[in-house]
């Protein structure tokens, strides 16, 4: 082997090494729809994230008045800070399924200095496990019902986190329609997004920012969906299937902050 060839080989080796060290694959946003249903019908799921922050009473009151079922992804942080909101949810567990959104709202990406939308991820796998398991304990302690679904802060995951969450026994809850981009969208945009909902869609919105337009926009959009004959199911009643081909609808970076 001549020197030039050897140098090329070294270059390739070096590039490969630096790829494996530095160019970790970016985290993915998981997109899901309802798995095929036994009985036909226009079923959809509304999921509401309670990241940190406050309780959007207008939104929850609207759901109760209109008998709309929803799955709430709550963090321990939110549950600790919002006893009044929790009391309302607990009084309506016929409508609301409460699932795990983590202990402290940390994205499911592992590695020193890794971030999602500027929010730091987990330094190692032990911290990720704690985020998932302590979030679940908090939900069970607060509601008396153990969660089976997990949605990480920002809705993004790396490969190692996906494996770990699965090993811990939780199903990852993606979505197909991002209604409010972390409670940052205007009322009319939220309405427009909800009017495009199709049977089988999983909607994500937020119930932790009462100052946002989310409650108002969702009220109009959800009323429209009810009138159109859609039936709202909770994630404890159904299963989800991944739709990897779907173009990403990115969650806003300020989500839940």
To Zn ion, the closest distance from the beta carbon of 205 in angstroms equals: 11
- Residues near Zn ion (CB under 5 A) are 49, 51, 153, 256
With CB atoms as reference, the residue minimizing the distance to Zn ion is: 51
Closest distance to Zn ion from the beta carbon of 92 (Å): 21
Residue whose CB is less far from Zn ion, 107 or 200: 107
* Smallest separation, CB 257 to Zn ion (Å): 9
Contact of 109 with 157, CB cutoff 8 Å? yes
Closest approach of Zn ion to the CB of residue 242, in Å: 20
SS3 assignment for the chain: CCHHHHHHHHHHHHHHHHHHHHCCCCCEECEEEECCCCCCCCEEEEEEEECCCCCCHHHHHHHHHCCCCEEEEECHHHHHHCHHHHHHHHCCCCCEEEEECCCCCCCECECCCCEECCEECECCHHHHHHHHHHHHHHHHHHHCCCCCEECCHHHEECHHHHHHHHHCCCEECCECEECCCCCCCCHHHHHHHHHCCCCCEEEEEECCCCCCCHHHHHHHHHHHHHHCCCEEECHHHCCEEECCCCCCCCCCCCCCC
Which residue, 44 or 51, is less far from Zn ion as judged by CB? 51
C-beta closer to Zn ion: residue 85 or 256: 256
Beta bridge partners of 217: none
Residue closer to Zn ion by CB (options 51, 202) is: 51
Which residue number, 156 or 230, has a Cβ lying nearer to Zn ion? 156
Nearer to Zn ion, 48 or 225 (CB): 48
Q: State the nearest-atom distance from the C-beta of 231 to Zn ion, in Å.
A: 26
Q: How far is the CB of 210 from Zn ion (least distance, A)?
A: 15
């Amino acid at each position: 082997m001549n020197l030039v060839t050897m140098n090329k080989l070294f270059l390739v080796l070096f590039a490969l090494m630096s790829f494996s060290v530095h160019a970790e694959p970016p985290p993915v946003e998981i997109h899901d729809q309802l798995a095929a249903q036994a009985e036909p019908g226009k079923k959809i799921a509304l999921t509401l994230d309670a990241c940190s922050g406050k309780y959007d009473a207008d939104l929850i009151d609207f759901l109760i008045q209109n008998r709309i079922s929803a799955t709430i992804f709550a963090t321990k942080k939110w549950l600790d800070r919002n006893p009044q909101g929790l009391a309302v949810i607990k009084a309506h567990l016929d409508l609301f399924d409460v699932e795990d959104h983590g202990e402290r709202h940390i994205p499911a990406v592992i590695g020193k200095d890794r971030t999602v939308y500027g929010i730091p991820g987990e330094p190692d796998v032990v911290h990720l496990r704690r985020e998932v398991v302590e979030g679940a304990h908090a939900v069970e302690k607060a509601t008396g019902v153990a969660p089976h679904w997990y949605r990480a802060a920002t809705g993004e995951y790396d490969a190692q986190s996906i494996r770990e969450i699965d090993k811990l026994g939780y199903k990852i809850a993606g979505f197909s329609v991002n209604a409010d981009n972390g409670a940052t969208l205007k009322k009319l945009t939220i309405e427009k997004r909800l009017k495009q909902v199709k049977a089988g869609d999983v909607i994500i919105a937020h119930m932790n920012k009462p100052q946002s337009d989310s409650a108002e926009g969702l009220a109009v959009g959800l009323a429209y969906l009810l009138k159109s004959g859609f039936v709202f199911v909770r994630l404890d009643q159904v299963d989800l299937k991944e739709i990897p081909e779907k173009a990403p609808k990115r969650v806003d970076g300020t989500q839940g902050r």
